[in-house]
Amino acid sequence: LTCARVDDLAGAKVFIKGENMQVTGSFKARGALNAVLSLPKLRTKGVVCHSAGNHAAAVAFAARASDLPCHVVIPRSAPKSKVANTESFGATVELCEPSNEVREATVQRIAEELGYHVVPPYDDLHVIAGQGTLAIELIEQLSAVGEE
């Protein structure tokens, strides 16, 4: 996408990648899908993650697409719309206190109790690689229309 007004403000040609149009509403679906699809299907019982919103919905979406159960730990302070979006993809949501320590401990407890694989929100090579496809796709799209 382009916008002449943004170009004028930036003093350059600006290209906008509409990742908000992804099914989960953000680029996070790319990383979650790559991480979940990279799991060994026969040995994976389910997935669990923690997030206040976008990663939560993305992992829930990826789990549903892979026919895996999903638990998501979300802080009580998260917007209700983020919780509802995550639940709309079939995840079981567990609310917790809004500290990272509590979120991570809750994820570990669920992972151990259920034998689920943890899908970290950002510090995972499969998540990073999946999210990086955004840049590759943008470069390919710009090249296709002569904007290198």
Has residue 146 got a pLDDT over 90?
no
Closest by alpha carbon to 107, among 43, 56, 34?
Answer: 56
Give me the phi and psi of 78, to 5 degrees please: -70, 150
Q: Per residue in 57-110, pLDDT tens?
A: 999 999 999 999 999 999 999 999 999 999 999 999 999 999 999 999 999 999
**Cα(1)–Cα(42) distance, rounded to whole angstroms?**
41
Q: Which residues contact 53 (CB under 8 A, 6 or more apart)?
A: 74, 78, 79, 82, 85, 86
